[in-house]
Amino acid sequence: MKATLLLFGFLILSACSEASSPTHHSDPVPVEGQQFFGALKVTDGKLTDAAGGAVMLRGVSFGWHNWWPRFYNASAVKWLKSDWNANLVRAAIGVDPANAYLGNPDFAEEKIKAVVDAAIAEDLYVIIDWHSHDIHTDEAKSFFSKMAKMYGDKPNVIYEIFNEPDYETWAEVKRYSEELITEIRKYDPDNLILVGSPTWSQDIHLVAEDPILDQTNIMYVLHFYAATHKDYLRDRAEQAFQKGLPIFVTECAGMEASGDGPIDQASWDSWLNWMESRKISWAAWSIADKNETCSMLLPEASSTGQWTESTIKPWGKMVKKGLQRNKN
């Protein structure tokens, strides 16, 4: 009885403290082994909870919504949490191809809402990914202002405003990103914003030399494919990390940069160990059933989770194992 009364009193005090907090998010009391940390922030170049404790997100990215919309549903999100042990999902909103956002924005928003709403319901973090290689400033501002108005009070939501700039300079990407950040902050003052880096989000060293100033809770995107990107890119990323640049790996995989070819287990293990040792969050690519190495599922896999070992491809099994090794 005494323990019950103490717990009740603690909950009352916690509720009062949260009610008086200036942030618009409510943060859960941390528990051992938890997967959801409440509102996220960037502290001294690291991803932390609201109290400044270091946290790490690990999960998977859905494939392009316009090509693999069948996986964009609540049941698949729930399965990735319960069976794969993901605490992060990434919704890759295709922008340029046929039936993608520029041609069919209503369909894109329908798919993104399905994943985001499910992630919120499951206490998962979710990246809203503007999955483009080109700059579309006005369209991106319209999209993200709508997302920020809709989800700005949900600590689960993370905005990735430019997936992979290809041939744009850092000056161009930086200028675009500053506009997008300003737009999002009109409606959401504190959720995490992820900024792409040049050359398919690999030139993180250029960003470290000239980061965005006077903004809070932003991190910079690094992508790698382990069979192509080896020590040279990890060394580059390590140098940026040592300079205090906040890094978030929103897309990674074990094969070649084409998404195909053999998996390089040794290189993937080196990358995974590097991310784990530095608490750099990551999302692996991708939940899709394309005939390529990086698509994690076979065509006969269900659209709604319940994936058996016989429907998961080798890369999917590696990712699932990597996620489950952190399961308590």
Residues with active-site annotation: 164, 251
CA distances for 169 relative to 134, 164, 204, angstroms: 11, 12, 12
* Phi and psi at residue 137, to the nearest 5°: -60, -50
What is the DSSP code (8-state) at residue 317?
H
3-class secondary-structure state, position 212:
coil
What is the CB neighbour count within 10 angstroms for residue 86? 27
Q: Prior bond to 75 cis, omega within 30?
A: no
Task: Spell out a b/e string for 248-273, using b for 16 or more CB atoms within 10 Å of the CB, else e.
Answer: bbbbbbbbbbebebebbeebbeebbe
3-class DSSP state of 49: strand
Q: In DSSP terms, which residues pair with 47 in a beta bridge?
A: 42
Look at residues 205, 202, 185, 201 and name the one whose alpha carbon lies nearest to residue 193. Answer: 185
